[in-house]
Amino acid sequence: MRYRAIGTDPENRRDVSVLSLGAMLFGSVTDEATSFAILDRFVEAGGNFIDTSDNYAFWVDGGQGGQSEELLGRWRRSRGVGDEIVIATKLGARPLAPGTGYVDNPEGLSAKVIRESAERSRERLGVEKIDLLYAHIEDRSVEVRETVEGFGELVAEGIVGLLGASNHAIWRVERARSIAAAAGVAGYEVLQYQHSYLRPRFDLPSDLFEDGSLGHAGAELFTYLRAEPSLTLLAYSPLLAGAYTREDKPLPPDYDHPGVPARLAVLREVAKETGASMNQVVLAWQMGADVPIIPLAGASSLAQLEENLAAVDLELTTDQRTRLDSTH
């Protein structure tokens, strides 16, 4: 396994594996025995960076979520896991009542919610300190300053280590970070957006975002990352739910456009040259990018996890990377 540092504060800075394990469906769609086996193998391989949220997976049973955090808490206790494993979680998108969702009834990002939801996540995970806590989605009903100060207080009190933002407009990320810097409190240092090798359309409507593009990593985000090298991108859904390799998994609608065939063709070429799968090439391409990217990949079986782990040791040549990058 290889590692990279996230965070700038020496007290909370962490060295994390270059591949993060997504635990979204652990404890719900993925049963406990399989989830534990995947977690054990990930750690055995040197992985130490696991991602979840307080609302995973509310849509499975029509509840409010929490199954994934609860499973991770049981796994930690059963294995005697300590702070050597970095667990990231999110708040802000948990439904306030069963049968509702994050679009019509989210918990939001008020200072009160931030404190109360973080405490509940700590209890479910069984940790004294949350290593990395994200603002999961925007809450434009709350002043940015209140959200910033709410998160900053948790870091100052030692309840949270690092802060991140997911699925936010970049101007709001920058505004929040500027407010935090001016106030002398911790700000967002890790950003989580959907990012894969294929490029999405940014003009399709979204059930989650008023602007359908907010969940995707686009040109504006990468410009921002290059200007702010202390930031790290966690790239979720890097493998497009299996669409690169499984005929029964079509590409999502926002990846249906004329630019897709050419990039798929070069991806297949590089996979053939390396003897790796297309999934592994995508992960290796992200890990070797010119900005700090950590792919966040879930797994529902040990076989899927092993395929992902093998990508850590896949080194693309300069020519291969140039062809992948320059194909439009």
Catalytic residue among 56, 236, 244, 255: 56
pLDDT category, 212, cuts 50, 70, 90?
Answer: low
Q: Which domain holds residue 162?
A: 3-326
> How many whole angstroms separate alpha carbon 254 and alpha carbon 258?
11
Residue of 79, 64, 68 lying closest to 22 (CA atoms): 68
E-assigned strand segments in the chain: 3-6, 14-17, 20-22, 49-51, 86-91, 130-135, 160-166, 188-194, 232-236, 293-298
Q: What's the confidence (pLDDT) of residue 204?
A: 73
DSSP, res 17: E
> How many whole angstroms separate alpha carbon 17 and alpha carbon 129?
19
pLDDT category, 72, cuts 50, 70, 90?
Answer: very high
Is this prediction's pTM over 0.85? yes
224 carries an active-site annotation: no
Query: Taking all residues of the chain, what is their mean pLDDT, rounded to a whole number?
Result: 95
> How many whole angstroms separate alpha carbon 292 and alpha carbon 171?
20
Angle, CA 101 vertex, CA 148 and CA 167 arms, to 5°: 40
Q: Indicate the number of domains in the chain.
A: 1
pLDDT category, 103, cuts 50, 70, 90?
Answer: confident
The answer to whether 193 and 162 are in contact (CB under 8 A) is no
At 160-180, the pLDDT tens digits run 999 999 999 999 999 999 999
At 177-195, the pLDDT tens digits run 999 999 999 999 999 999 9
64: CATH: 3.20.20.100
- Beta-bridge mates of residue 295: 235
> How many CB atoms lie under 10 A from the CB of residue 302?
14
Among 15-24, 200-209, 237-246, 271-280, name the one with the lowest average pLDDT.
200-209
